[in-house]
Every structure is written in structure tokens, then in C-alpha cells.
């Protein structure tokens, strides 16, 4: 598969990689559409028994591609929110076990891609941040996924502050399951092979479906509500000010009301 997502199946492990390293794997509509197609194809690939999500380059993902996703266009904001919600939903509901290897920063909406996985591996260079409030947005969609891993208190602290945490802190908070000494991808691959040797694929699928069975309705409702909040935040004065500062590469002091047009 060409484009910002590449897939490779080897010995039952389907590796799905974000591949736009020049843009630090920033999430565009094109990337989300390609990722959705890759996940759909994974479900229809008989030999695929484990999905391993990872990324090429120094960053897992810089988050939303603010240069190519024009949130000032309501239609674009709506499409992006709907596609991101769909990818989060598919990652959580795909019957195959999903492993995620994080080497480098994962920011904003990319944190949701990570946290939607069943097992998460973080390398020494991994960093995580719900950075939306720094540019006047709301981490609504990613919070739906994060809420299934973090306590409300821990999620609020990360979402409100936009604080960046390293791999060790992410492990302490429960955001990741395994700390890799060197390469998260290498350790995730080793674990995937071990998983295939030691566990029944049918039993894993049934287990995942059973554990997810009590929440599908809630997940849909929460993602629908989050899309509404995402679109409202994208149309706000704060977002206009924050995104303009981002595009112009200038600092913005949120403590000065005139700077945000409020």
C-alpha cells in the first residue's frame, strides 16, 4: 500500500505503519482514510492474527496536520472529526489483538491512536501530550479513548495542562503497558510472535469481543458527542487565534485577552 500508511504481513503479524516522516507523521485526512482502509483490510485478511501499529521516522506522530487540515472550514473540521472517530472506533473493535509501538513523540490526536491499542510498548524516546489546549482546541475525541485507560483525575490533569510526559511517567500513569530498553518496535514484534505461539487466536478474539461487549453503545455515544465538541472548539475564537499563531510561527500569550480576540 502506497501513501502515508503502509502495511506488511509476515508470519501472522500485520504491521501497519504511519509513513510520512518528513511531516513527522502528522495526521491528515488522507492518512486517516488510508488507516481506515488498512484496518478494514486487516479484518478481511485470513492470515492476519495480530495487528502491530507503529511509525516510520523519529516521531510516532506530531498530531493533527494543522498545515493541511483547515479547521477554519467547517466542512473540513466535520470530516476530520468523523474520520478520526471512525478510526478510534475501528482500532478498539477490530477482533484482532492490536499492539502499538511508540518510538518518539505522540502528540494530540495521535495519543488516541496509541491508547486505542490493546497492548502498548514505549521506547526511551517516547513522549506523550494532549496538547490541544495550547492552540485553543479541545482534546475531545482522544479523551474518549484515554478515558478507557486513565482515571478521570489523571486524564483531566493531562488534558487541561497539555503537559508532555516521558515513557516512564506514561507507564506510571497506565498509558503504556511495557517499557522497551531500546526499540519499542523490536520488543512489540517479539511479543507478537510470543503471543501467536502461546495463545489461541480464536480465544483471543472471543476474549476481546467479550471485554468490549459492555461498552459499544457508550463508545458510539461518546464519540458522537466528542465530534460535536471538536467542531465547536475548532470554530471558536481561541482556535482561530491559536491556529493563526501556529501558522505564523509566533508565540501566543493566552494571558492577554487582546491576543485571542476575546
- Of residues 8, 33, 37, 132, which has the active-site annotation? 132
> Distance between CA 112 and CA 144 in Å, rounded?
8
Cell of 1: 500500500
Let me know if 132 is a catalytic residue.
yes
Nearest to 42 by CA among 97, 122, 106, 83: 97
**3-state class of 50 per DSSP?**
strand
Q: Degrees (nearest 5) of the Cα angle 37, 43, 48?
A: 110
> Distance between CA 114 and CA 88 in Å, rounded?
9
Crossing angle of helices 74-93 and 29-43, rounded to 10°: 30
DSSP label at 180? -
The alpha carbons of the chain give a radius of gyration, in whole angstroms, of 18
C-beta separation of 63 from 109 below 8 A: yes
Give, for 98, the enclosing helix (H) or strand (E): strand 98-102
**3-state class of 77 per DSSP?**
helix
C-beta separation of 121 from 176 below 8 A: yes
List residues with catalytic annotation: 132
Amino acid at each position: 500500500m502506497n501513501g502515508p500508511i503502509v502495511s506488511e504481513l509476515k508470519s501472522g503479524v500485520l504491521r501497519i505503519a504511519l509513513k510520512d516522516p518528513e511531516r513527522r507523521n502528522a495526521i491528515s485526512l488522507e492518512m486517516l482514510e488510508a488507516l481506515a482502509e488498512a484496518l478494514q483490510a486487516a479484518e478481511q485478511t485470513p492470515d492476519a492474527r495480530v495487528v502491530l501499529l507503529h511509525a516510520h521516522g523519529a516521531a510516532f506522530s506530531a498530531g493533527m496536520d494543522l498545515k493541511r487540515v483547515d479547521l477554519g472550514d467547517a466542512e473540513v473540521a466535520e470530516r476530520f472529526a468523523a474520520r478520526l472517530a471512525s478510526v478510534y472506533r475501528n482500532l478498539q473493535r477490530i477482533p484482532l489483538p492490536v499492539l502499538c509501538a511508540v518510538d518518539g513523540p505522540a502528540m494530540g490526536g495521535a495519543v488516541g491512536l496509541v491508547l486505542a491499542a490493546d497492548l502498548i510498548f514505549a521506547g526511551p524516546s517516547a513522549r506523550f501530550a494532549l496538547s490541544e489546549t495550547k492552540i485553543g482546541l479541545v482534546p475531545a475525541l482522544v479523551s474518549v479513548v484515554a478515558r478507557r485507560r486513565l482515571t478521570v483525575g489523571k486524564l483531566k490533569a493531562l488534558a487541561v495542562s497539555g503537559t508532555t510526559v516521558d515513557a516512564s511517567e506514561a507507564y506510571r500513569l497506565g498509558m503504556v503497558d511495557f517499557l522497551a530498553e531500546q526499540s519499542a518496535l523490536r520488543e512489540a514484534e517479539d511479543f507478537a510472535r510470543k503471543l501467536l505461539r502461546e495463545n489461541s487466536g480464536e480465544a483471543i478474539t472471543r476474549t476481546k469481543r467479550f471485554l468490549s461487549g459492555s461498552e459499544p453503545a457508550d463508545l458510539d455515544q461518546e464519540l458522537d458527542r466528542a465530534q460535536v465538541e471538536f467542531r465547536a472548539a475548532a470554530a471558536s475564537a481561541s482556535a482561530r487565534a491559536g491556529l493563526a499563531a501556529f501558522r505564523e510561527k509566533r508565540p501566543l500569550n493566552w494571558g492577554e485577552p487582546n491576543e485571542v480576540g476575546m
